Amino acid sequence: MGKKDKDKNKEGAKPTSLKIFNYRRYMLQRSFWLAGKHGRNLIFTAGVCYCVWIIADALKAFAGKTSSAHMAFSVLADVRFVYTVSMAVGAAGAGMYLRERNLHRKTRERLAGRITDLEKTIDPSRTSSQLTSLGLTRQEDE
Amino acid sequence: MDVSQQFSAVILSASALCVLLWMILIGFASIRLDEFRQRMFAIRDGLFDYARSGNIGFDQPAYKLLRKSMNGFIRYGHRLSFFQLVITFCRWHYTDDQPVFSWRAQWEDALSKVSDEKVRKDLMKIQAESMGVVFGRVILGSPVLMVAMAGIGIALLCRDGWKSTRDFRRVSAEKTFKLFSIDTDRLEDEALRVAA
């Protein structure tokens, strides 16, 4: 057996199923996973940061031109009727929605178990969507 | 407008923008997810009732597969958006994760085992109904897809005229998916994979 054949045998002896850890691919995979999981929160946080930056910029621009007490007072004084009404209606709507949603979740929690048990008597191999009893995404599926 | 008025305008606009962002990205998204799951649960319950009335056995592969697919959609409904699809396609393209192509073959095989033609048609209708809910979730969650679907809808109206609302919506949605190279079978594959 020549040297070349020996080398070939050595290469052939390597387990082909063993994957070489690819750091670049792993990082890409994790990046996609993170972007998918936190993308929306990231956009929201970026938006809030932008708003804070605008306010800070405005504060800097007006620094020295007017006193902080005057500015705080002027903001309150400038809250117009239309703005107040829209904010109040919006907040009331959001509050009512949240209350209704909580009631809906409680009802779901109360009835889901019963429905599952009844369905299992008819179909013992019944498969589940794996949501929580409140009908929410499980922590590990986020 | 004096300095203090300008300042108050900035504060009010910025705070309103924050609230708007929260509503669009968090609040509205949560309502849409609940609605999607609710509609999918309703279809799944309809399938259960259909089997319970004796049309198809609970142990039939077609029933099991359809239910499993719906379970997958319900479980991972929060990841069913255009943004998430783009991320998934990028992941398939750039990493070792590869899609599993099994839905079409399994579904056709399962349907072939159903002897009654009417039941087969009913099951296909239920599957189309669940895909319709998925179409709605993906398209209505993305302004890009919404604009594309509106354009396609207008083009279809000009070409074929009005026939029925359901068909019009379905065909427009399918063509929008095709335009963006979104394969509905891949969505079913993912639903099956995650429900396993």
ipTM: 0.71
Say whether both A89 and A59 belong to one domain: no
Instruction: Work out the mean pLDDT of chain B and round it to a whole number.
Output: 87
**B107-118 pLDDT, tens digit each:** 999 999 998 999
Interface mutation target, options B25, B30, B88, chain A, most CBs of A under 10 Å: B25
Residue A141 lies in a domain: no
Instruction: Choose the closest CB to A122 out of B10, B52, B77.
Output: B52
**B51 pLDDT exceeds 50?**
yes
Confidence (pLDDT) at B67: 94
Nearest to B46 by CA among B69, B67, B26, B75: B67
**Which residues of A are less than 8 Å from B80 in CB distance?**
none
Q: How many distinct structural domains can be found in chain A? A: 2
Residue A96 lies in a domain: yes
Confidence (pLDDT) at B48: 95
Residue A89 lies in a domain: yes
**Which residues of A are less than 8 Å from B15 in CB distance?**
51
Range of the domain at A43: 20-64
Least Cα separation, residue A32 to chain B (angstroms): 6
Point out the least confidently predicted range of B90-99, B103-112, B168-177: B90-99
Domain end among A9, A33, A64: A64
The 10 Å Cβ neighbour count of residue B153 is: 17
Confidence (pLDDT) at B125: 94
Per-residue pLDDT of chain A (142 residues; tens, 9 = 90+): 444 454 444 444 444 445 566 777 777 777 777 877 788 888 889 999 998 898 888 888 777 766 666 666 666 666 677 777 888 898 899 899 899 999 999 998 898 888 899 999 999 989 888 888 888 888 888 7
**B14 pLDDT exceeds 50?**
yes
Say whether both A57 and A102 belong to one domain: no
User: In which residue are the tokens 């994790």 written?
Assistant: A30
What does chain A look like in DSSP terms, one character per residue? Answer: --HHHHHHHHHHHS-TTPPPP-HHHHHHHHHHHHHHHHHHHHHHHHHHHHHHHHHHHHHHHHBTTB-HHHHHHHHHHT--HHHHHHHHHHHHHHHHHHHHHHHHHHHHHHHHHHHHHHHHHH-TT-------TTS---GGG-
What is the C-alpha to C-alpha distance for residues A12 and A19, in angstroms, rounded to an integer?
A: 15
**B69 pLDDT exceeds 80?**
yes
Indicate yes or no: CB of B18 within 8 angstroms of CB of A22.
no
Indicate yes or no: CB of A29 within 8 angstroms of CB of B95.
yes
Residue A41 lies in a domain: yes
Confidence (pLDDT) at B150: 92
Nearest CA in chain B to A38: B84
Confidence (pLDDT) at A1: 43
Domain end among A34, A64, A94: A64
Centroid of chain to Cα A86: 28
Instruction: Please check whether residue B3 touches A, CB under 8 A.
Output: yes
What is the C-alpha to C-alpha distance for residues A61 and A42, in angstroms, rounded to an integer?
A: 28
Nearest CA in chain A to B16: A87
Say whether both A24 and A56 belong to one domain: yes
Indicate yes or no: CB of B51 within 8 angstroms of CB of A28.
no
Say whether both A59 and A87 belong to one domain: no
Residue A59 lies in a domain: yes
Instruction: Please check whether residue B17 touches A, CB under 8 A.
Output: yes
Task: Tell me the pTM.
Answer: 0.78
